[in-house]
């Protein structure tokens, strides 16, 4: 019989720095998610608002026999690339697709678990219709910060999330205490004011988010956001860069996540063949050449200094 401690030890052997267990069942945050979508904050991301939205209500819609969800986190933080390179969000500036790396790790975990027990399972990495940040919080991986990222107290927020939904009956972990306190660093630093007040807290209006504008939005980007986008050509890390909890965030040794810088001018003039060769196996392929060159044209017109890093003072929401 597998114990939670055994499961966690095996997950760490498979390369996951964070691991916890959530109970399978109705999602505690579903109503909040449904309200967020109804308010239009998902923009044109129809995969968040179509028939798949209802599936997010309960992980048992993905695996009817589910009893536990093993939630994992994979560190992707790296050192900064050269300042003359195109600014690509940290999760995407490597040479590999994180979906493949996480799935490989979860497949290895299944093999190890099956040596101890028989069970049904389903791997989920980013694209499955479930509320993975809510599950990660319930599994004790971290709290959901004002920037909407899962923040782990000792290690920060630079983590990919993955889930293994299983029929195993495992004791769940408890969600950690929210530790953002009165800090508003992420809210104040967002150049497009995408983090907006909602009730007694904050939420993300994706329609104003640089990541949405440079990756998900098809067609022209509204001119009102051009200056805020600056030299971001794929995604944005500002709300994580300024988070005090990332001041001492560890750095990954994963080869596929190491930065592969490219000059902004080269990106703007890239041929279709060069784009395919450079970004074929990375998340940047999602925005296609037309999208990346649209973004590069804005960046060349509105180049700005690098995002502010975590301040060296001692103010902290601990």
Contacts of 155 (CB under 8 A, 6+ apart): 17, 18, 75, 249, 250
Nearest by Cα to 16 from 113, 134, 101 = 101
Q: Give dist(CA 62, CA 128) in Å, integer.
A: 9
Q: Quote the crossing angle between the two packed helices 288-301 and 272-279, to the nearest 10°.
A: 100
Q: Output the CA angle 229-232-235, nearest 5 degrees.
A: 100
Q: What is the 3-state secondary structure (H, E, C) of 202-237?
A: EEECHHHCHHHHHHHCCCCCCHHHHHHHCCEEECCC
Among candidate residues 29, 80, 126, 266, the one labeled active-site is 126
Q: Which DSSP helix (H) or strand (E) runs through 72?
A: strand 68-75
Measured in residues, the chain has a length of 318
Q: What are phi and psi of 88, to 5 degrees?
A: -115, 135
Q: How far is CA 292 from CA 227, 281, 314, in A?
A: 17, 15, 38
DSSP tag of 152: B
Residue 173 catalytic?
no
23 phi and psi angles, rounded to 5 deg: -80, 135
Distances (CA, A) of 47 to 44, 56, 130, 226: 9, 11, 11, 26
Q: Would you please indicate which residues are annotated as catalytic (active-site) residues? A: 126
């Amino acid at each position: 019989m597998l114990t939670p401690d055994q499961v966690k030890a095996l997950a760490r052997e498979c390369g996951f720095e964070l691991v916890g267990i959530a109970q399978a069942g109705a999602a505690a945050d579903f109503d909040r998610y449904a309200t967020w979508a109804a308010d239009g904050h998902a923009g044109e991301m129809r995969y968040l608002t179509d028939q798949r939205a209802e599936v997010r209500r309960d992980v048992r819609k993905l695996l009817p026999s589910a009893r536990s969800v093993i939630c994992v986190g994979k560190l992707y933080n790296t050192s900064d690339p050269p300042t003359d390179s195109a600014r690509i969000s940290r999760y995407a500036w490597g040479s590999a697709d994180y979906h493949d790396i996480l799935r490989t790790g979860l497949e290895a975990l299944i093999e190890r678990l099956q040596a101890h027990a028989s069970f049904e399972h389903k791997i989920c990495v980013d694209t499955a219709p479930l509320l993975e940040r809510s599950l990660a919080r319930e599994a004790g991986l971290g709290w959901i910060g004002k920037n909407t990222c899962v923040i782990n107290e000792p290690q920060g927020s630079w983590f990919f999330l993955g889930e293994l939904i299983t029929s195993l009956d495992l004791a769940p972990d408890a969600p950690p205490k929210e530790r953002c306190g009165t800090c508003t660093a992420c809210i104040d630093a967002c150049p497009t004011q995408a983090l907006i007040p909602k009730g007694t807290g904050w939420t993300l209006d994706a329609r104003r988010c640089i990541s949405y504008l440079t990756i998900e939005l098809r067609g022209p980007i509204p001119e009102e956001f051009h200056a805020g986008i600056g030299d971001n050509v794929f995604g944005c890390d500002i709300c994580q860069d300024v988070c005090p909890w990332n001041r001492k965030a560890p750095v990954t040794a994963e080869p596929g996540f190491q930065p592969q810088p490219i000059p902004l001018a080269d990106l703007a003039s890239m041929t279709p063949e060069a784009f395919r060769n450079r970004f074929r196996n990375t998340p940047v392929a999602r925005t296609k050449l037309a999208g990346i060159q649209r973004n590069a044209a804005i960046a060349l017109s509105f180049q700005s200094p690098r995002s502010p890093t975590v301040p060296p003072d001692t103010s902290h929401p601990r």
